Chains A and B, each alone.
Chain A
Amino acid sequence: MTHSDIRKPFPWHILVFLGPGLLIYLTVSVYPLLDTLRLGFFSEDESGATFFVGMQNYANLLFSEVWSEPFWNALKNNLMFFVIHMLLQNPIGLLLALLLSSPRLRLSGTYRTLLFMPTMLSVVIVGFVWQLLLSPLWGISEDFMYNIGLGDYFDAWLGKEGTALVTLSLISVWQFVGIPMMLIYAALLNIPEDLNDAGVVDGANSWQIFWNIKLPLLLPTISMVSILTFVANFNAFELIYAVKGALAGPNFSTDIMGTLFYRTFFGFQLQQGSPTMGAAVATLMFLIILIGVAIYLFFVQRRIQRFQL
């Protein structure tokens, strides 16, 4: 014990307040993450005993014949998944937020409630819903496409190698558009009316007001939405697993980091599951997310702060 204890009684109340939360957080979150980073440097034999192998797992994942192909494939698909979200989910969310915040809009609260509804549902449920809707067996989408004169373009999108990933991304965009919408909407409400009014008085049209006044003020929110999207996308698993199973078919065309992690850890078909290889995949996911967060913290946020008043 330190000598400060002699002068002051031990601050038990701090321990009582901080203890329970910190203990659970350290044991169930911090320690497992550190242990996973450690396990990535190990390998195991049939008996389950682990031994140190240095960078071997990572060399395998990045370069070996068996591992590197699935890894780069999953990374590429995951990037695609992310890019589609950035190109569609966040701009659509921004547009909806702008419309929702138009002054004296009737039914604004109702729209808000209804538009956010899909976001509340479980990703698994949403996956199944769309699987049914897009199924050629049921034919709802096919009928719909015929009715608007695009019947010839209908295809079993979820089942085709070339379209499955894009279709799944669009389903995810459909579900989560509510999050950028709400966050940007809240930010828009916090922009003082005076700024808009000043723009109107100076003769700016709606587009100019958006581009020169609102957008710069929204940048912190938009970049926060972007990093949230990044982390969520590189951590995604449920949608692919619900619709395509752990094999992320057809022919791994919808495989992303989350499903690769799951398969590597638990094994599938002929390949045995491996906790250490799984830990290595998780470590790489950790690094990817860390790079994203670092870019956000050091570049985007710093630059934006300079623009703030």
Chain B
Amino acid sequence: MLNKMTLTMPWSGMNKLTLKPDLGKKLMVHAVLLTYTVIALFPILVILINSFKTRKAIFNDPLGLPDASSFTLVGFEEVLARSSFDVFFFNSLIVTVLSLFFVLLFGAMAAWALTEYRFRGALFIAALFAMGIMIPIRLGTVSILQLMVDLDLVNTRTSLVLVYIAQGLPLAVYILSEFIRTIPKELKEAARCDNVSEYKIFFQIVLPLIRPAMATVAVFTMIPIWNDLWFPLILAPGESTQTITLGVQQFIGQFVTDWNAVLSSLTLAIAPVLVLYLVFSRQLIRGLTAGAVK
């Protein structure tokens, strides 16, 4: 028996050594993952590092860390002086937060209405929302622009918020409906027996219960809004309403040859997202994998 095993698996003679193939395999797994991690991070790191260096150091030693002689903040100074980065950042923040708030609120309310009450047209409305998950709102851009012109909302943050609410609702309604269905009937019935109003049932019983699902929806809604270029470019390209993505795009287009400024503007756009991501990555990934990750 032992002989046969040594023949087929020459390394399995001793108990200690049986770990070996496992160890080799583990090393392989780590090697591949590590390599890919480097591939994923290296480009970002190069940009971050070089934004703190003098022009000379950027070109002579692109991979070196900034040291006493090569450290400079001149790029950041230029960016802040020549563009209204603070305004862009504020615009992005307010548009994302407002859109997110309304997607979550209206999405949860609609999901509740569609799953809890039986009424004519419910199925049709649910199907209409479901279609929006797959069909990008961008395809209606020609008419959306016309609509915003008619409503006199071009170059306002309101136009962006409206579009992003419409963009986020379908997925929000879908995910939250699935979740609301799992709420036990007894909870609601008990409340109704006590003559609690439908509004109170929703806001004080249902809404707190679906909080985990709201986090998932928030992740899916927030990232595309913050990163979007299409609608800011078309609906709100004015200097005072530009979001950060559009602001960086326009700034770089203008100062292509100023490497310090370009690298710094990229860093300013990347840094807040990275910090937020690293702080919330656990919740975020849990949201993305819908609870499969503990």
Contacts and interface: CB of A to CB of B under 8 A. Distances in A.
Interface of A: 11, 13-14, 16-18, 20-22, 24-25, 27-33, 35-36, 39, 92, 95-96, 99-100, 102, 105-107, 109, 111-118, 120-125, 128-130, 132-133, 138-140, 143, 174, 177, 182-183, 185-187, 189-190, 227, 231, 235, 237-238, 241-242, 258, 261, 265, 275, 278-279, 282-283, 285-286, 289-290, 293
A117 B274 contact: yes
A241 B246 CA distance: 11
A32 B140 contact: yes
A190 B289 CA distance: 10
15 contacts: A14-B117, A17-B109, A21-B106, A21-B107, A25-B165, A25-B169, A30-B128, A121-B44, A122-B269, A123-B229, A140-B63, A189-B292, A189-B293, A265-B141, A278-B142
A14 B121 CA distance: 12
Interface string B134-145: 111111111110
Interface string B259-275: 10011001001100110
A107 B26 CA distance: 12
**Residue of B43, B169, B249, B277 contacting most chain A CB atoms (<10 Å):** B43
Contacts of A117: 40-41, 44, 274, 277
Contact of A120 (B223, B229, B263): B223
For chain B, the bracket of interface size reads 35 or more
Interface stretch (B28-36, B65-73, B79-87, B185-193): B28-36
B166 A174 contact: no
Contacts of A289: 134-136, 139
A32 B231 CA distance: 14
Contact of A231 (B59, B134, B227, B281): B134
Contact of B109 (A18, A121, A261, A285): A18
A133 B58 CA distance: 12
B136 A118 contact: no
Contact of A125 (B59, B113, B270, B292): B270
Give the top 5 A-B pairs by smallest Cβ distance, nearest first.
A32-B140, A186-B289, A21-B106, A32-B143, A122-B227
Contacts of B199: 13, 16
Contacts of B43: 118, 129-130, 133, 174
Interface in B2-49: 26, 29-30, 32-33, 36-37, 39-41, 43-44, 46-47
**Residue of B32, B107, B274, B293 contacting most chain A CB atoms (<10 Å):** B293
B75 interface: no
Contacts of A261: 141
Interface string B110-126: 10111001010000010
B167 interface: yes
Contacts of B110: 17-18, 21-22
B29 A105 contact: yes
B138 A235 contact: yes
B39 A174 contact: yes
B106 A279 contact: no
A208 B27 CA distance: 21
**Residue of B62, B110, B141, B248 contacting most chain A CB atoms (<10 Å):** B141
Contact of B273 (A32, A116, A121): A121
Nearest to A100: B33
A293 B232 CA distance: 28
